[in-house]
Amino acid sequence: MSNKSLLSLLETPEKQEYGHNPTAKRETNHYQAEYVRQFVERWDELIDWRARAESEGNFFAEQLRQHEKYKVLDVATGTGFHSVQLLKAGFNVTSADGNAQMLVKAFENAKKHGHIMQSVHADWRWLNKDVDGKYDAVICLGNSFTHLFKEADRRRALAEFYSVLEHDGILIIDQRNYDCILDNGFASKHKYYYCGEKVSAEPVHVDDGLARFEYAFPDGTKQYLNMFPLRKDYMRRLIRETGFQSVKTYGDFKEAFHEEEPDFLVHVAHKAYRDE
Ligand SMILES: C[S@@+](CC[C@H](N)C(=O)[O-])C[C@H]1O[C@@H](n2cnc3c(N)ncnc32)[C@H](O)[C@@H]1O
């Protein structure tokens, strides 16, 4: 682990801290103070690896194989769920995250599954400063991109993802179906992503600039995440404006869906120029 990562581990606060007005915290950098050790340690209770693997099936591995992309950069590694699934499936994976606590946990998890994770401590906004080489695919999963609060940060991060890709690389990036939450209120099937049976993940505040989610554990502990509610068409437009030539969006892993149905959306964007 580099000195920078060690320092960042030491600097992470013990407890989440939102100040006297939690809904006023709308800052990109705040993800570092949200993923504190006690939340990171319990993240896997929330997502439940076995249930999540069942609900997602081979969607991501199939997408990558179908497009013949084998060298993958997971930019939102978290505790390592997708990196480990892809390592097990034989992909060449590098695992990046801006939060050092997450990377430590991911490394431990990979080891338990018999893999030595190649990890890089990197913030998306200056990803290419820390990540070497080019990749066939970048994955940014688990509703992670929602942590960016400024449009300039979103554009910058997408430009960094674009730049680390080979000339015909693909980006797979997902998000909650925020349109539905903003327009119709929250009603999750809890079938995907946050699959832990004894935990709940529900918004406690939603407006055009903030979705504040509460994650409640069986022992009464509660943790929070403040996120930016990305609308689907806005996200697709940002991806295209970065230079990606096409974007295909799936709803809960299905090609055909009604706008209000899915909990999660997955965008698959292609860098390759298509003269159609
Ligand atoms: C919601 S977690 C998802 C983790 C994992 N992909 C999953 O599905 O379980 C979001 C992850 O994105 C990382 N993250 C958020 N903002 C970031 C940034 N600006 N640069 C790098 N990583 C960031 C966080 O540290 C965290 O590990």
Ligand 1 pocket residues where CB is under 6 Å? 31, 35, 47, 76, 78, 81-82, 97-99, 102, 123-125, 141-144, 147
pLDDT of residue 11: 72
Is beta strand 264-270 parallel, antiparallel or unpaired with respect to 246-251?
antiparallel
User: Which residue lies with its CA nearest to atom 5 of ligand 1?
Assistant: 78
- The secondary structure of residue 201, as a DSSP letter, is E
- For the ranges 44-58, 146-160, 183-197, 241-255, which has the lowest average pLDDT? 183-197
pLDDT of residue 192: 65
pLDDT of residue 198: 78
- Please write the tens of the pLDDT for every residue from 206-263: 999 999 999 998 889 999 999 999 999 999 999 999 999 999 999 999 999 998 889 9
Of ligand 1's atoms, which has the minimum distance to the CA of residue 124? Answer: 20
Domains of the chain by start residue, with CATH: 3-9+22-270 (3.40.50.150)
User: Which residue lies with its CA nearest to atom 27 of ligand 1?
Assistant: 78
Of ligand 1's atoms, which has the minimum distance to the CA of residue 193? Answer: 8
Beta bridge partners of 205: 212
Give the Cα separation of 98 and 207 in Å (integer): 26
Give 191's pLDDT tier (boundaries 50, 70, 90): low
Whole-number Å distance, alpha carbon 67 to ligand 1 midpoint, is 25
Question: Which letter, b or e, does each residue of 177-193 get, where b requires 16 or more Cβ atoms within 10 Å of its Cβ?
Answer: bbbbbeeeebebebebb
Give the residue from 267, 226, 228 showing the smallest Cα distance to 246.
267
pLDDT of residue 260: 85
pLDDT of residue 193: 65
Give the Cα separation of 199 and 224 in Å (integer): 13
- Please write the tens of the pLDDT for every residue from 29-71: 999 999 998 899 988 888 889 999 999 999 999 999 999 999 9
User: Which residue lies with its CA nearest to atom 17 of ligand 1?
Assistant: 98
Whole-number Å distance, alpha carbon 158 to ligand 1 midpoint, is 14
Residue with tokens 């990606």: 244
Question: Taking residues 263-274, what's their average pLDDT?
Answer: 94
Give the residue from 86, 247, 265 showing the smallest Cα distance to 193.
265
Is the per-residue pLDDT at 2 higher than 80?
A: no
Is the per-residue pLDDT at 1 higher than 80?
A: no
User: Which residue lies with its CA nearest to atom 8 of ligand 1?
Assistant: 142
Of ligand 1's atoms, which has the minimum distance to the CA of residue 80? Answer: 5
Give the Cα separation of 214 and 200 in Å (integer): 8
